[in-house]
Amino acid sequence: MFGHFYHEIFRKTIIAFGNIFNNIEIHHTNNSDQTISIVKVPLAYGPIQKFLARIEQDPTALKPVKLTLPRMSFEFTGLNYDASRKVSTTQSFVSGTGKKVYMPVPYNMQFELNIITKLNDDALQIVEQILPYFQPSFNLTVNLVEPINEKKDIPVILDSVSFTDDYEGDFTKRRSLVYTLRFTAKTYLFGPIPSSSTGIIKKVTLDYMSGTETKKREMRYVVTPRATKDYNDDATTTLADDIDETTKYITVGDAASISSGTRIYLDNELMYVESKNSNKLVVTRGYENSLIEGHVAGTPVNLVTVADDSLIEYGDDFGFNEETTFFQDFKEYSPSQNTDLWSWKKNLKN
């Protein structure tokens, strides 16, 4: 009865929703009202319970500090059919590409956005940057089905705002201020379309309303998995001399298989090879935020290649991770060691 098709509509809607909140900053000032620091609030995909648990414990035993605040997380929490937007099941329309397509099915997606801070003023700054845009809805224009270039306006409605102050227990316990904002996104689902393509999301287009002016920004994700450790234990060569945490020039037994621009893995540390001369390598230590440590002569030196990339075990956070470092437009950014190990490139066109 059913043939396979996948337009990635839920995925695109989740990513479009997350991108509303991916550029929020907190400004700290001194007694003279001069800005002394600007903090870009990290945005992650995941349940609030995970991040609250990390505030109270260190899950890796490698991090020198606990989870830092402030930060935000969001999660897709529910889905239901919207009968109020229902149209005839046999009604069709002609898309912009000339294909005849049946009308989409309306569904509401529920989201929860959590704002976690230590200081009340930080929480108020974040909330105040969000609430004015929802009166009570904020429209996203998303290209839901690329083969027919079908773009739909998806209203995102702010349903409720709640607040909790977690300050129980002994005096040494950390304080957690949590604002919870619940939203409903009114999206549409399309059935099978001839010559529909599949694969990971390629493009999400958002329209931002500012007064009477519409500013359009296109956001494109190019996703390539990249390993930050050796998975296949290839033992390419061995370390010839002891090195400490400050050494940037290392000697290996045989560097024939190692070239500039490659990555090598010793114990738990990833290094980037900047250049080589015979068996001597100039390296970047602690690459991809790996742990810098001393190594003794005879330690196996493993190459990290595309063969290791294919062995990565990962979860799906839809491109939002609390430890992602964001840079300015048209620059690359990479998640750190303890994330899902993706290498991202973000291109923005204002």
Last residue of a domain, one of 161, 191, 224: 224
Q: Tens digits of per-residue pLDDT, 169-219?
A: 555 555 678 899 999 999 998 888 765 443 334 455 555 555 555 544 444
Q: Are strands 249-251 and 332-333 parallel, antiparallel or unpaired?
A: unpaired
Question: H-type helices in 88-193, by residue range?
Answer: 120-130
User: In DSSP terms, which residues pair with 73 in a beta bridge?
Assistant: 44, 114
Residue 338 forms part of a structural domain? no
- Residue 157 sits in the same domain as residue 178: yes
Q: Are strands 43-45 and 71-81 parallel, antiparallel or unpaired?
A: parallel
- Residue 33 sits in the same domain as residue 133: yes
- Residue 198 sits in the same domain as residue 291: no
Residue 279 forms part of a structural domain? yes
Residue 276 forms part of a structural domain? yes
- Residue 266 sits in the same domain as residue 140: no
CATH number, domain of 201, equals: 3.30.2000.40
Residue 349 forms part of a structural domain? no
Report whether 271 contacts 257 (CB < 8 A): no
Q: Number of folded domains in the chain?
A: 2
Q: Tens digits of per-residue pLDDT, 285-337?
A: 998 878 899 999 999 999 998 888 777 665 556 666 654 433 333 333 333 43
Residue 294: domain span: 237-305
Q: Name the most confidently modeled range: 87-101, 254-268, 333-347.
A: 254-268
Backbone angles phi, psi at 25, to 5 degrees: -125, 155
* Weakest mean pLDDT among 88-97, 118-127, 315-324: 315-324
**Tokens representing residue 310 in the block:** 């294919």
User: In DSSP terms, which residues pair with 35 in a beta bridge?
Assistant: 29
Last residue of a domain, one of 186, 201, 224: 224
Residues in the chain: 350
Residue 122 forms part of a structural domain? yes
Q: Tens digits of per-residue pLDDT, 241-292?
A: 999 999 999 999 999 999 999 999 999 899 999 999 999 999 999 988 788 9
Strand order of the β-sheet with 332-333 is 203-210, 213-225, 342-349, 332-333
Q: How far is CA 104 from the centre of its chain?
A: 29
338: CB partners within 8 A, 6+ apart: 60, 63, 289, 323
Peptide bond into 70 cis (omega under 30): yes
- Residue 168 sits in the same domain as residue 72: yes
Q: Using alpha carbons, list the distances in angstroms from residue 47 to 58, 72, 90, 139, 157.
A: 17, 10, 39, 25, 20
